[in-house]
Amino acid sequence: MLKGVGLLYKAVTLIFVSTTIAVSGYSQECALKLQDAQAQFDRGKVELVAGMITPCLNSGSFSREESLTAYKLLIQSLLLDDKQAMAEEYMLEFLSRHPEYSVTAADYSGFVYLRNKYEVRQSCLISLFLGTNYTFLTGRNHRSLSSLEPDINYSREPLNLYAGTEVTIPVRSLFSLSAGISYSSVAFNYNEHMMNFGMVTYRESQNRIEIPLSVVWNAADYRGVRLYVRGGAGYAMNLKTDSKASFITTDINNGFNRTGENLNRNSSRIRSDLFIHAGLGGMIKIPHGYISAEIRTLFGLRNQVVRSEPGNLEYYYFYTDDSFRVNTTGLTIGYTYIFYKPSRRSGS
Protein backbone atom coordinates (compact mmCIF):
# COMPACT_ATOMS: atom_id res chain seq x y z
CA MET A 1 0.00 0.00 0.00
CA LEU A 2 2.75 2.45 1.02
CA LYS A 3 4.79 1.48 -2.04
CA GLY A 4 1.81 2.26 -4.31
CA VAL A 5 1.32 5.68 -2.67
CA GLY A 6 5.02 6.41 -3.16
CA LEU A 7 4.88 5.52 -6.84
CA LEU A 8 1.79 7.70 -7.30
CA TYR A 9 3.54 10.63 -5.58
CA LYS A 10 6.59 10.26 -7.84
CA ALA A 11 4.38 10.13 -10.95
CA VAL A 12 2.46 13.27 -9.98
CA THR A 13 5.71 15.07 -9.16
CA LEU A 14 7.21 14.05 -12.50
CA ILE A 15 4.15 15.28 -14.41
CA PHE A 16 4.17 18.59 -12.51
CA VAL A 17 7.89 19.19 -13.12
CA SER A 18 7.60 18.23 -16.79
CA THR A 19 4.62 20.54 -17.30
CA THR A 20 6.41 23.42 -15.53
CA ILE A 21 9.49 22.96 -17.71
CA ALA A 22 7.35 22.77 -20.87
CA VAL A 23 5.41 25.92 -20.00
CA SER A 24 8.61 27.77 -19.08
CA GLY A 25 10.23 26.68 -22.34
CA TYR A 26 7.22 27.78 -24.41
CA SER A 27 7.18 31.16 -22.65
CA GLN A 28 10.85 31.67 -23.51
CA GLU A 29 10.12 30.65 -27.09
CA CYS A 30 7.29 33.22 -27.26
CA ALA A 31 9.58 35.93 -25.88
CA LEU A 32 12.04 35.20 -28.71
CA LYS A 33 9.21 35.24 -31.28
CA LEU A 34 8.16 38.67 -30.02
CA GLN A 35 11.71 39.94 -30.54
CA ASP A 36 11.75 38.46 -34.07
CA ALA A 37 8.34 39.99 -34.82
CA GLN A 38 9.62 43.39 -33.72
CA ALA A 39 12.64 42.97 -36.00
CA GLN A 40 10.41 42.05 -38.98
CA PHE A 41 8.19 45.06 -38.23
CA ASP A 42 11.23 47.37 -38.18
CA ARG A 43 12.24 45.98 -41.61
CA GLY A 44 8.80 46.83 -42.95
CA LYS A 45 7.57 43.24 -43.21
CA VAL A 46 4.36 43.95 -41.27
CA GLU A 47 2.46 41.11 -42.95
CA LEU A 48 4.62 38.56 -41.04
CA VAL A 49 3.92 39.90 -37.54
CA ALA A 50 0.45 38.41 -36.95
CA GLY A 51 1.48 34.85 -37.74
CA MET A 52 4.45 35.08 -35.40
CA ILE A 53 2.80 36.36 -32.23
CA THR A 54 -0.94 35.52 -32.32
CA PRO A 55 -0.39 31.87 -31.18
CA CYS A 56 1.41 33.12 -28.10
CA LEU A 57 -1.28 35.75 -27.40
CA ASN A 58 -3.99 33.12 -27.69
CA SER A 59 -2.20 30.73 -25.35
CA GLY A 60 -1.51 33.42 -22.74
CA SER A 61 2.21 32.65 -22.73
CA PHE A 62 3.36 36.27 -22.61
CA SER A 63 4.04 38.15 -19.41
CA ARG A 64 1.94 41.26 -18.82
CA GLU A 65 4.55 43.59 -20.32
CA GLU A 66 5.14 41.24 -23.25
CA SER A 67 1.38 41.05 -23.83
CA LEU A 68 1.10 44.86 -23.95
CA THR A 69 3.99 45.07 -26.40
CA ALA A 70 2.61 42.24 -28.55
CA TYR A 71 -0.89 43.71 -28.84
CA LYS A 72 0.39 47.17 -29.75
CA LEU A 73 2.77 45.70 -32.33
CA LEU A 74 0.06 43.45 -33.77
CA ILE A 75 -2.59 46.18 -34.04
CA GLN A 76 -0.15 48.63 -35.64
CA SER A 77 0.95 45.94 -38.12
CA LEU A 78 -2.62 45.14 -39.11
CA LEU A 79 -3.41 48.82 -39.65
CA LEU A 80 -0.34 49.23 -41.86
CA ASP A 81 -1.30 46.04 -43.72
CA ASP A 82 -4.73 47.58 -44.41
CA LYS A 83 -6.60 45.05 -42.24
CA GLN A 84 -8.79 47.47 -40.34
CA ALA A 85 -11.46 44.96 -39.27
CA MET A 86 -8.89 42.59 -37.73
CA ALA A 87 -7.17 45.48 -36.00
CA GLU A 88 -10.47 46.49 -34.41
CA GLU A 89 -11.12 42.92 -33.25
CA TYR A 90 -7.73 42.78 -31.57
CA MET A 91 -8.24 46.24 -30.06
CA LEU A 92 -11.40 44.96 -28.32
CA GLU A 93 -9.49 41.88 -27.17
CA PHE A 94 -6.65 44.09 -25.93
CA LEU A 95 -9.04 46.31 -23.96
CA SER A 96 -10.76 43.26 -22.47
CA ARG A 97 -7.43 41.95 -21.17
CA HIS A 98 -5.91 45.31 -20.27
CA PRO A 99 -8.89 47.61 -19.57
CA GLU A 100 -6.94 50.06 -17.41
CA TYR A 101 -4.13 50.69 -19.88
CA SER A 102 -3.41 54.35 -20.67
CA VAL A 103 -1.61 55.30 -23.87
CA THR A 104 1.86 56.81 -23.66
CA ALA A 105 3.91 59.08 -25.88
CA ALA A 106 5.96 56.05 -26.98
CA ASP A 107 2.94 54.19 -28.44
CA TYR A 108 2.46 53.84 -32.19
CA SER A 109 0.38 56.64 -33.68
CA GLY A 110 -2.01 54.23 -35.43
CA PHE A 111 -2.54 52.27 -32.22
CA VAL A 112 -3.29 55.50 -30.30
CA TYR A 113 -5.68 56.72 -33.00
CA LEU A 114 -7.64 53.46 -32.93
CA ARG A 115 -7.56 53.25 -29.11
CA ASN A 116 -9.18 56.67 -28.88
CA LYS A 117 -12.14 55.36 -30.85
CA TYR A 118 -13.02 53.05 -27.94
CA GLU A 119 -14.11 53.58 -24.38
CA VAL A 120 -13.92 51.27 -21.39
CA ARG A 121 -16.70 51.48 -18.83
CA GLN A 122 -17.16 49.83 -15.47
CA SER A 123 -20.03 47.41 -16.06
CA CYS A 124 -20.21 45.81 -12.63
CA LEU A 125 -18.39 46.00 -9.28
CA ILE A 126 -18.38 43.18 -6.74
CA SER A 127 -17.35 44.03 -3.18
CA LEU A 128 -16.48 42.03 -0.08
CA PHE A 129 -16.42 43.80 3.26
CA LEU A 130 -15.73 43.01 6.89
CA GLY A 131 -16.15 45.14 9.97
CA THR A 132 -17.99 45.81 13.18
CA ASN A 133 -21.15 47.60 14.19
CA TYR A 134 -22.33 49.46 17.27
CA THR A 135 -25.90 48.78 18.40
CA PHE A 136 -28.21 51.48 19.69
CA LEU A 137 -31.93 51.25 20.48
CA THR A 138 -34.75 53.70 19.87
CA GLY A 139 -38.49 53.64 20.45
CA ARG A 140 -38.06 52.29 23.97
CA ASN A 141 -41.13 52.11 26.22
CA HIS A 142 -39.94 51.22 29.70
CA ARG A 143 -41.75 48.57 31.65
CA SER A 144 -40.76 47.34 35.07
CA LEU A 145 -41.92 44.87 37.71
CA SER A 146 -40.69 47.16 40.45
CA SER A 147 -43.31 48.86 42.63
CA LEU A 148 -40.94 51.83 43.02
CA GLU A 149 -39.41 54.01 40.32
CA PRO A 150 -36.52 51.91 38.97
CA ASP A 151 -33.11 53.11 37.80
CA ILE A 152 -32.78 51.73 34.25
CA ASN A 153 -29.65 51.84 32.10
CA TYR A 154 -28.89 50.48 28.61
CA SER A 155 -25.34 49.88 27.43
CA ARG A 156 -23.98 48.69 24.08
CA GLU A 157 -21.09 46.58 22.92
CA PRO A 158 -18.94 48.22 20.22
CA LEU A 159 -17.55 45.04 18.65
CA ASN A 160 -20.16 43.03 16.73
CA LEU A 161 -19.37 41.14 13.53
CA TYR A 162 -20.59 42.67 10.29
CA ALA A 163 -19.62 41.07 6.95
CA GLY A 164 -21.07 40.67 3.51
CA THR A 165 -20.92 41.19 -0.23
CA GLU A 166 -22.40 43.74 -2.58
CA VAL A 167 -22.96 44.13 -6.32
CA THR A 168 -22.90 47.64 -7.77
CA ILE A 169 -24.07 48.64 -11.26
CA PRO A 170 -23.10 52.12 -12.55
CA VAL A 171 -26.07 53.84 -14.21
CA ARG A 172 -24.58 57.32 -14.71
CA SER A 173 -21.13 58.82 -14.35
CA LEU A 174 -21.96 59.93 -10.80
CA PHE A 175 -24.63 57.43 -9.71
CA SER A 176 -24.79 53.68 -9.14
CA LEU A 177 -27.30 51.16 -7.85
CA SER A 178 -26.22 48.46 -5.43
CA ALA A 179 -27.70 45.39 -3.77
CA GLY A 180 -26.05 43.32 -1.11
CA ILE A 181 -26.41 40.62 1.49
CA SER A 182 -24.67 40.70 4.84
CA TYR A 183 -24.43 38.97 8.20
CA SER A 184 -24.88 41.24 11.20
CA SER A 185 -24.69 40.55 14.91
CA VAL A 186 -26.21 43.07 17.33
CA ALA A 187 -26.14 43.09 21.11
CA PHE A 188 -27.16 45.27 24.03
CA ASN A 189 -27.15 45.14 27.82
CA TYR A 190 -29.97 46.17 30.18
CA ASN A 191 -29.49 46.96 33.86
CA GLU A 192 -32.31 47.79 36.25
CA HIS A 193 -31.77 48.75 39.88
CA MET A 194 -34.93 47.97 41.84
CA MET A 195 -34.85 50.19 44.89
CA ASN A 196 -34.40 48.23 48.15
CA PHE A 197 -34.77 44.94 46.31
CA GLY A 198 -32.04 44.05 43.82
CA MET A 199 -30.29 44.47 40.47
CA VAL A 200 -31.57 42.94 37.22
CA THR A 201 -29.00 42.34 34.47
CA TYR A 202 -30.06 41.24 30.99
CA ARG A 203 -28.03 40.78 27.81
CA GLU A 204 -29.54 40.12 24.38
CA SER A 205 -27.79 39.24 21.11
CA GLN A 206 -29.31 38.84 17.66
CA ASN A 207 -27.87 37.25 14.53
CA ARG A 208 -29.37 38.71 11.37
CA ILE A 209 -29.21 38.55 7.60
CA GLU A 210 -29.60 41.99 6.01
CA ILE A 211 -30.38 42.75 2.36
CA PRO A 212 -29.70 46.45 1.68
CA LEU A 213 -30.58 48.28 -1.54
CA SER A 214 -28.77 51.55 -2.17
CA VAL A 215 -28.31 54.52 -4.46
CA VAL A 216 -24.64 55.54 -4.43
CA TRP A 217 -23.49 59.04 -5.37
CA ASN A 218 -19.82 59.51 -6.28
CA ALA A 219 -19.27 62.85 -4.63
CA ALA A 220 -15.63 63.42 -5.58
CA ASP A 221 -12.72 61.80 -7.48
CA TYR A 222 -9.17 63.00 -7.10
CA ARG A 223 -5.94 61.17 -8.00
CA GLY A 224 -7.33 57.69 -7.49
CA VAL A 225 -9.32 58.52 -4.36
CA ARG A 226 -13.12 58.51 -4.54
CA LEU A 227 -15.53 59.78 -1.90
CA TYR A 228 -19.12 58.57 -2.04
CA VAL A 229 -22.42 58.85 -0.21
CA ARG A 230 -25.14 56.20 -0.14
CA GLY A 231 -28.74 55.98 0.95
CA GLY A 232 -31.43 53.34 0.70
CA ALA A 233 -33.63 50.80 2.41
CA GLY A 234 -33.66 47.09 3.02
CA TYR A 235 -34.94 43.95 4.67
CA ALA A 236 -33.52 42.12 7.70
CA MET A 237 -34.25 38.56 8.78
CA ASN A 238 -33.64 37.54 12.37
CA LEU A 239 -31.90 34.17 12.47
CA LYS A 240 -31.53 33.75 16.21
CA THR A 241 -32.03 35.74 19.40
CA ASP A 242 -30.29 34.67 22.61
CA SER A 243 -30.36 36.26 26.03
CA LYS A 244 -28.86 35.85 29.45
CA ALA A 245 -30.31 37.26 32.66
CA SER A 246 -29.30 37.43 36.32
CA PHE A 247 -30.65 38.94 39.51
CA ILE A 248 -28.51 40.12 42.41
CA THR A 249 -30.52 40.74 45.56
CA THR A 250 -29.82 43.70 47.85
CA ASP A 251 -32.42 42.66 50.41
CA ILE A 252 -30.94 40.05 52.72
CA ASN A 253 -34.42 39.15 53.94
CA ASN A 254 -35.86 38.56 50.48
CA GLY A 255 -34.58 35.78 48.29
CA PHE A 256 -31.17 34.90 46.86
CA ASN A 257 -28.99 35.66 43.87
CA ARG A 258 -30.12 34.09 40.59
CA THR A 259 -27.41 33.32 38.05
CA GLY A 260 -28.64 33.41 34.49
CA GLU A 261 -28.74 30.64 31.94
CA ASN A 262 -28.85 31.15 28.16
CA LEU A 263 -32.42 31.64 26.96
CA ASN A 264 -33.74 31.49 23.40
CA ARG A 265 -35.97 34.50 22.62
CA ASN A 266 -36.92 33.69 19.01
CA SER A 267 -40.63 33.39 19.75
CA SER A 268 -40.77 36.80 21.46
CA ARG A 269 -39.02 38.74 18.68
CA ILE A 270 -40.17 39.65 15.18
CA ARG A 271 -38.70 37.44 12.48
CA SER A 272 -38.19 40.22 9.93
CA ASP A 273 -37.55 43.95 9.99
CA LEU A 274 -37.46 46.81 7.51
CA PHE A 275 -34.80 49.49 7.68
CA ILE A 276 -33.45 52.61 6.05
CA HIS A 277 -29.74 53.31 5.92
CA ALA A 278 -27.17 55.93 4.96
CA GLY A 279 -23.41 55.79 4.58
CA LEU A 280 -20.25 57.74 3.82
CA GLY A 281 -17.14 56.11 2.44
CA GLY A 282 -13.89 56.42 0.56
CA MET A 283 -12.19 54.22 -2.04
CA ILE A 284 -8.54 54.04 -3.10
CA LYS A 285 -7.84 52.79 -6.62
CA ILE A 286 -5.66 49.71 -7.01
CA PRO A 287 -5.14 47.59 -10.15
CA HIS A 288 -8.54 46.23 -11.27
CA GLY A 289 -10.30 47.36 -8.10
CA TYR A 290 -10.55 49.47 -4.98
CA ILE A 291 -9.77 49.26 -1.27
CA SER A 292 -12.57 50.96 0.65
CA ALA A 293 -13.61 52.09 4.12
CA GLU A 294 -17.17 53.07 5.01
CA ILE A 295 -19.29 54.23 7.93
CA ARG A 296 -22.92 53.17 7.57
CA THR A 297 -25.89 53.73 9.88
CA LEU A 298 -29.02 51.58 9.80
CA PHE A 299 -32.36 52.54 11.38
CA GLY A 300 -34.84 49.74 12.09
CA LEU A 301 -38.49 50.60 11.49
CA ARG A 302 -40.35 47.94 13.50
CA ASN A 303 -40.77 47.24 17.20
CA GLN A 304 -38.73 44.11 17.93
CA VAL A 305 -40.93 42.74 20.71
CA VAL A 306 -43.75 40.41 19.74
CA ARG A 307 -44.62 39.65 23.35
CA SER A 308 -42.81 39.61 26.65
CA GLU A 309 -42.96 36.00 27.70
CA PRO A 310 -43.70 35.26 31.33
CA GLY A 311 -41.76 32.46 32.93
CA ASN A 312 -38.19 32.45 34.20
CA LEU A 313 -37.39 35.95 32.97
CA GLU A 314 -40.33 37.53 34.76
CA TYR A 315 -40.89 35.30 37.80
CA TYR A 316 -37.29 34.28 38.50
CA TYR A 317 -35.16 37.20 37.25
CA PHE A 318 -37.79 39.98 37.57
CA TYR A 319 -37.20 41.14 33.99
CA THR A 320 -39.82 42.16 31.43
CA ASP A 321 -39.23 43.44 27.90
CA ASP A 322 -39.32 47.08 26.91
CA SER A 323 -40.44 47.75 23.36
CA PHE A 324 -37.51 48.83 21.17
CA ARG A 325 -36.20 49.22 17.63
CA VAL A 326 -32.74 48.01 16.62
CA ASN A 327 -30.32 50.43 14.94
CA THR A 328 -26.63 50.08 14.17
CA THR A 329 -23.66 52.18 13.12
CA GLY A 330 -20.98 50.14 11.39
CA LEU A 331 -17.41 50.58 10.20
CA THR A 332 -16.20 48.28 7.41
CA ILE A 333 -13.09 47.70 5.32
CA GLY A 334 -13.68 46.26 1.85
CA TYR A 335 -12.20 45.11 -1.43
CA THR A 336 -13.93 45.78 -4.74
CA TYR A 337 -13.19 44.03 -8.04
CA ILE A 338 -14.15 45.85 -11.25
CA PHE A 339 -15.59 44.20 -14.35
CA TYR A 340 -15.05 46.32 -17.47
CA LYS A 341 -16.86 46.49 -20.78
CA PRO A 342 -14.98 48.00 -23.77
CA SER A 343 -17.01 49.33 -26.68
CA ARG A 344 -16.64 51.58 -29.68
CA ARG A 345 -17.52 55.22 -29.07
CA SER A 346 -20.73 56.32 -30.68
CA GLY A 347 -20.08 58.30 -33.87
CA SER A 348 -16.48 57.09 -34.24
Q: What is the per-residue pLDDT for 108? A: 92
Range of the domain at 275: 122-342
Q: Given the DSSP bridges, would you call strands 161-170 and 198-222 parallel, antiparallel or unpaired?
A: unpaired
SS3 124: strand
Per residue in 92-115, pLDDT (tens digit) is 999 999 999 999 999 999 999 999
Which phi-psi region, left, alpha or beta, contains residue 223 (left: φ > 0; alpha: ψ -120 to 50)?
Answer: left
Q: What is the per-residue pLDDT for 22? A: 40
Q: What is the per-residue pLDDT for 334? A: 97
99, 116, 133 - which closes a domain: 116
Shared domain check, 52 and 126: no
Q: What is the per-residue pLDDT for 315? A: 75
The torsion angles phi and psi of 99, rounded to 5 degrees, stand at -70, -20
Cα of first residue to Cα of last residue in the chain, in angstroms, is 69
Q: What is the per-residue pLDDT for 43? A: 92
Shared domain check, 257 and 198: yes
Shared domain check, 165 and 277: yes
Dihedral angle computed from the Cα positions of residues 71, 76, 77 and 82, in that order, rounded to the nearest 10 degrees:
130
State how far the Cα of 84 lies from the Cα of 231, in Å rounded to an integer: 47
Helices (H), the chain: 2-42, 49-59, 64-80, 84-97, 109-115
Q: Is there a domain that residue 347 lies in?
A: no
Low-confidence ranges of the chain (pLDDT < 50): 5, 9-10, 12, 14-25
Find, among 223, 189, 218, the residue nearest to 319 by Cα: 189
Shared domain check, 338 and 190: yes
Shared domain check, 164 and 103: no
Number of structural domains the chain divides into: 2
